[in-house]
């Protein structure tokens, strides 16, 4: 038991370090954490990585990857993170959408899209969630109907929501209803489409946190060719599973202020009797709990990495990450703010401790507890897929979609 690279991993890490030292940016461009004005820098960095084979390390060489291992991918990520690299708006496209296209599209389509996506020239969005179906994506109402002119083309109408990065995306994959007369999972079909099409309207969502990283996307008579279909008609749910396989890895853990920032803030904040708040026993116990959770997650990732390093499939333990980190982010932020007492209400970055990082966490954490699988859905997944408990009773399983009860 140790934390060392194997000789092969060490050699790869050294190769990656040499390349990064020569190529990675040394100082950060002005960037905003919820995605914004740093697109040029992001695209330039992506193009550089693609030219050297580091954009999608595990992809086959013929598609611009290195045919590398998941461990090599992790190693690159670890080393890359040591540099002030720009935000990565390509993750959803390259992690979920393009692999779906690569699995289901014809060669011509693949040749057209894979390269530009890899190089960061074109950005892809995933259009699954809807106002009427977040956790229950299979309840999607956005519909595609054949144009009755014999062309085989389809017309898409409806609305998607919570689409990350749609405001700067070029293409997307969208799951739509093509048959409302069968149960919900059986009447779905997947397409790729051009988000610059005049029938597509992207409206940023104003989040409760103030930022706008997500969008609503409206479709009005968007015409797509049958050749844009990914997988068979009615097989969209199965296609979506390929896409979602990687989602919980792509939606990372919590960022923002952690136990260490909390400790420093507590040290500098007067507590109950005028002594430092860090001397407050209640504060110290919580701090210990958060440290233990954070360490638990860190070493759980090390266990996952070990399995990959040994060429094994990682165990299910990696599924605990977001449940723990998102809840902790919210609780830690709130405890920090209450520790500041009356002053805690101030979230001006110039006045609040840690540039108001705790306040940002407090307002963003509710979203993190929902995105990429809510706390509740993730518990269901652990219960069903890890522990082998029965699935929930589904009253809509054998009901035609058009007859399903709907609320708001």
Binding stretches for other proteins (CB under 8 A)? 1-6, 9, 71, 259-260, 263-264, 267, 278, 281, 284-285, 287-289, 291-293, 295-300, 302-303, 305-307, 309-310, 317, 320, 323-324, 376, 378-380, 382-384, 386-393
Q: Compare residues 179 and 318 and give the one whose CB is closer to other proteins.
A: 318
Which secondary-structure segment (H or E) carries 116?
helix 107-118
Q: Compare residues 312 and 342 and give the one whose CB is closer to other proteins.
A: 312
Structure tokens given for 103: 């699995």
Q: Compare residues 51 and 249 and give the one whose CB is closer to other proteins.
A: 249
Q: Compare residues 70 and 366 and give the one whose CB is closer to other proteins.
A: 70
CA angle 22, 34, 115 (to 5 degrees): 50
Least separation in angstroms between residue 279's CB and other proteins is 10
Residues 191, 156: contact at Cβ < 8 Å? yes
Which secondary-structure segment (H or E) carries 219?
strand 214-224
Least separation in angstroms between residue 185's CB and other proteins is 20
Residues 202, 166: contact at Cβ < 8 Å? yes
Q: Compare residues 323 and 356 and give the one whose CB is closer to other proteins.
A: 323
Least separation in angstroms between residue 351's CB and other proteins is 22
Q: Of the candidates 31, 24, 18, which has an alpha carbon nearest to the alpha carbon of residue 49?
A: 24
Bridge partner residues of 173 (DSSP): 126, 192
Instruction: Give the whole-angstrom CA distance, residue 105 versus residue 121.
Output: 20
Least separation in angstroms between residue 172's CB and other proteins is 32
Least separation in angstroms between residue 283's CB and other proteins is 9
Sign (positive or negative) of CA dihedral 298, 301, 306, 309: negative
Residues 143, 176: contact at Cβ < 8 Å? yes
Residues 249, 234: contact at Cβ < 8 Å? no
CA angle 341, 34, 324 (to 5 degrees): 60
Q: Compare residues 4 and 313 and give the one whose CB is closer to other proteins.
A: 4
Phi/psi at 346 (5° precision): -80, 120
Q: Compare residues 37 and 384 and give the one whose CB is closer to other proteins.
A: 384
Least separation in angstroms between residue 299's CB and other proteins is 4
Q: Compare residues 118 and 323 and give the one whose CB is closer to other proteins.
A: 323
Instruction: Give the whole-angstrom CA distance, residue 23 versus residue 35.
Output: 23
Instruction: Give the whole-angstrom CA distance, residue 139 versus residue 401.
Output: 8
Q: Compare residues 64 and 271 and give the one whose CB is closer to other proteins.
A: 271
Per-residue b/e over 358-377, b at no fewer than 16 CB within 10 Å?
bbbbbbbbebbbbbbbbeee
Least separation in angstroms between residue 367's CB and other proteins is 21
Least separation in angstroms between residue 175's CB and other proteins is 25
Least separation in angstroms between residue 75's CB and other proteins is 9
Which secondary-structure segment (H or E) carries 191?
strand 188-194
CA angle 115, 119, 124 (to 5 degrees): 80
């Amino acid at each position: 038991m140790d934390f060392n690279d194997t000789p092969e991993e060490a050699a790869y890490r050294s190769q990656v370090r040499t390349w990064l030292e020569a190529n990675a940016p040394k100082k950060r461009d002005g960037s905003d954490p919820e995605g914004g004005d740093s697109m040029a820098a992001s695209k330039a960095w992506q193009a550089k990585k693609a030219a050297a084979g580091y954009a999608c390390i595990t992809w086959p060489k013929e598609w611009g990857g290195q045919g590398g291992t998941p461990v090599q991918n992790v190693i690159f990520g670890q080393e890359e993170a040591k540099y002030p690299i720009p935000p990565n708006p390509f993750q959803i496209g390259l992690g979920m959408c393009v692999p779906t296209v690569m699995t289901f599209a014809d060669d011509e389509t693949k040749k057209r899209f894979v390269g530009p996506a890899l190089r960061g020239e074109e950005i892809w969005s995933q259009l699954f969630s809807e106002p009427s179906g977040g956790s229950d994506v299979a309840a999607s109402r956005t519909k595609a109907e054949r144009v009755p002119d014999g062309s085989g083309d389809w017309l898409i109408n409806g609305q998607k929501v919570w689409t990350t990065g749609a405001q700067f995306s070029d293409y997307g994959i969208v799951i739509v209803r093509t048959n409302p007369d069968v149960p919900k999972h059986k009447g779905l079909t997947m397409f790729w489409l051009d988000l610059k099409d005049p029938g597509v309207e992207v409206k940023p969502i104003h989040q409760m946190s103030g930022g706008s990283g997500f969008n609503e996307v409206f479709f009005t008579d968007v015409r797509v060719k049958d050749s844009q279909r990914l997988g068979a008609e009615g097989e969209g749910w199965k296609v979506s599973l390929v896409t979602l396989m990687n989602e919980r890895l792509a939606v990372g853990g919590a960022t923002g202020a952690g136990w260490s920032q909390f400790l420093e803030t507590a040290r500098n904040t007067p507590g109950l009797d005028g002594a430092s708040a860090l001397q407050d026993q209640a504060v110290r116990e919580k701090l210990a709990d958060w440290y233990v959770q954070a360490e638990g997650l860190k070493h759980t990732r090390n266990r996952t990495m070990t399995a990959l390093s040994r060429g094994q499939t990682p165990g299910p333990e990696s599924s605990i990450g977001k449940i723990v980190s998102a809840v902790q982010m919210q609780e830690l932020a709130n405890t920090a703010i209450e520790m500041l007492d009356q002053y805690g209400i101030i979230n001006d970055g110039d006045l609040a401790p840690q540039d108001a990082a705790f306040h940002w966490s407090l307002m963003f954490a509710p979203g993190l507890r929902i995105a990429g699988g809510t706390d509740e859905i993730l518990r269901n997944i652990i219960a069903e897929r890890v522990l082998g408990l029965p699935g929930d009773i589904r009253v809509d399983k054998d009901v035609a979609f058009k007859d399903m009860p709907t609320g708001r």
